Amino acid sequence: MTDTNWPAMSIAAAHAMLTAPGQMLEMETRDIRGIATRVWKNAPPTLRDVFNAGRLHGDKVFLVHDDERVTFEAFARATAKLAAQLAADGIGKGDRVAVVMRNVPEWPVAFFAAQLCGAVVTPLNAWWTGSELEYGLSDSGTKLLLIDAERLARLTEHLPNCPDLTRIYVTRSTEEPLGPLVCRLEDVIGTPETWATLPDTPLPDVMLEPEDDATIFYTSGTTGKPKGALGTHRNIVSNIMASACSGARSFLRRGETPPTPDPAASQKGTLLSVPFFHATGCHAVLSPSLFAGAKLVMMRKWDAEAAMALIERERLTSCGGVPTIAWQILEHPNRANYDLSSLESVAYGGAPSAPELVRQITTQFRGATAGNGWGMTETSATFTHHMAEDYANRPDSAGPPVPVCDVKVTDPDGNIVPAGTVGELWGRGPNVVKEYWRKPGPSAETFVDGWVRTGDLARVDDEGFVFIIDRAKDMLIRGGENIYCVEVENALYDHPAVMDAAIVARPHRSLGEEPAAVVTLKPGSHATADELRAVVAARLAAFKVPVEVRFWDGPLPRNANGKILKSELKKLFAPEEAAA
């Protein structure tokens, strides 16, 4: 930075000003499960309140998908109609309702319709295999499923193993429903272009509270089986105020007064490049957009040039998701052919990124600020947030925690370490989920006295900026998708020729990292890399399949405790420039 007057105030002073009594971002202390917790005083209490606020935006366009354009009012009518049907199907408070779709307008309708009934919505990963979907449905005890045709075809043979299911609604199907259990969603709400003509249906008479259970989002565990993070309404709506705080803080840091929201200003719009079934897509993008009246533009499949065309056509103000998105747009040979001047923010998270990326965004996208952040499913997405000059000055940081959240860093014995010392990162705040669904052991290990033990190694500087150093958990992140190594290793061991196997991260410029395998074969056995990749592909989602397989002569290196020395194996996949 060349401005010697920056920053005009500290992070602590900015947060104190923004959250002072009488301010929109005012905080108060509430008892949450016996723990005194800072919360946003003016946040909408529940997702029902978010829905009601969204309806006030009327005829503004909310959802865009190919040629489909859905206004806030049309969305509200379809959601209310579906909620009434779900209630008629016997869905009530606490029942689990799963949503399994790619990003289509029916996804948020299904999500909020179930919320209006008081259900606990279980969004399952649309990239999962049939057996993985079966596990999510049976583990959660899902009673009703809303699914698209692609996923239903994948799941059909597994339905006999999901005994709790009483009804399935399928959307975007060209085939006849499979018996009495399956109905067409379109028979209830029609297609998106007809939603505006639906009658105004009363909402189910359900009383919701901020601490009521709202969602189960599955996150992989070191046992190889996903764990369901049980989140509340307060967990989710906390993201709405966190987003507003980060932007306002940037103005104060440069000595400027944050602008007052102008109802007459042009509509904000986001290119949705992350799935709704991730906490980021649902909690940090969908709910804040509905509440604030922002447009969401969906893509069936990511394509950088198509994305630029949408940004130009829809005059979108933000895009991002994972670093991959920013890199591909920045480096696209046809970028100059598109008007991207409407962009105000290019923000991402969910994968390691190079400090070079923030510099490229700042230089190449005039008028746009770069943003980053850290969070996890267990923190309901946003926990730290980083943008503008703060990000330019600390490009390797994930930013400071939002004001309602606290962090601490501990040594292996649980003692808090001094600022700047690397240790395990813990987080606390109103966005930390209650527990893992029906898993008391892992819950007790991870959630302690209101704190979540993240498993990440980090340091925190004197001003509170968090720097993620490594992951204590044996996990890698490929373009925003969590991959737990043991799950892939177990799949490799299913091949009869494999004696020893390890999954490590191979660096990738835009994805951050991707899975690579090191394998020792049994004496006298034979297997090719393609055979081993096929074994994994038959059992796990495509993004978990190793992109490269190296064969190791002899047992894999281990320490005295028998643990594989993955730090040594990672050197096999070091970037060429680093190895030179």
- Cβ proximity of 196 and 68 under 8 Å: no
Give yes or no for residue 312 having a pLDDT over 90. yes
- Cβ proximity of 231 and 111 under 8 Å: no
Specify the amino acid at residue 267: Q
Q: Convert the pLDDT of each residue in 105-145 to its tens digit.
A: 999 999 999 999 999 999 999 999 999 999 999 999 999 99
Rg (the chain; Cα; Å): 24
What whole-number percentage of the chain has pLDDT above 90? 76
Walk me through the domains of the chain, giving residue ranges and CATH numbers.
11-44+231-471 (3.40.50.12780), 76-208 (3.40.50.980), 475-579 (3.30.300.30)
Give the other-Cβ count within 10 Å of 165's Cβ.
Answer: 19
Give yes or no for residue 284 having a pLDDT over 50. yes
Give yes or no for residue 220 having a pLDDT over 70. no
Determine what percent of the chain falls in helix, strand and coil, rounding each to the nearest 5.
Answer: 35, 25, 40
Q: How does residue 245 score in pLDDT terms, banded at 50, 70 and 90?
A: very high
Q: In the predicted model, what is the mean pLDDT of residues 452-471?
A: 90
Q: In the predicted model, what is the mean pLDDT of residues 162-184?
A: 92
Give yes or no for residue 421 having a pLDDT over 60. yes
Reported pTM: 0.87
Task: Put the strands of the sheet holding 345-348 in their side by side order.
Answer: 68-71, 61-65, 295-298, 269-272, 318-321, 345-348, 369-376, 381-387
Average model confidence (pLDDT) for the chain? 92
Residue 579 pLDDT:
37
Q: How does residue 354 score in pLDDT terms, banded at 50, 70 and 90?
A: low
What is the C-alpha separation between 352 and 286, in angstroms, rounded? 23
Residue 3 pLDDT:
63
Q: Please give the full DSSP string across 151-215, using - where no structure is assigned.
A: HHHHHGGGGGG-TT--EEEEES--S---STTEEETHHHH--GGGGGGS--PPPP-----TTSEEE
Residue 577 pLDDT:
41
Specify the amino acid at residue 292: A
Q: Convert the pLDDT of each residue in 41-94 to its tens digit.
A: 999 999 999 999 999 999 999 999 999 999 999 999 999 999 999 999 999 999
What is the C-alpha separation between 390 and 392, in angstroms, rounded? 5
How does DSSP classify residue 286?
I
Give yes or no for residue 432 having a pLDDT over 90. yes
Which of 145-154, 319-328, 362-371, 449-458 is least confident? 319-328
Q: How does residue 486 score in pLDDT terms, banded at 50, 70 and 90?
A: confident
- Cβ proximity of 549 and 517 under 8 Å: yes
Residue 2 pLDDT:
46
Which of 205-214, 399-408, 480-489 is least confident? 480-489
Spell 107-129 as b/e; 16+ CB within 10 A means b.
bbbbbbbbbbbbbbbbbbbbbbb
Residue 1 pLDDT:
45
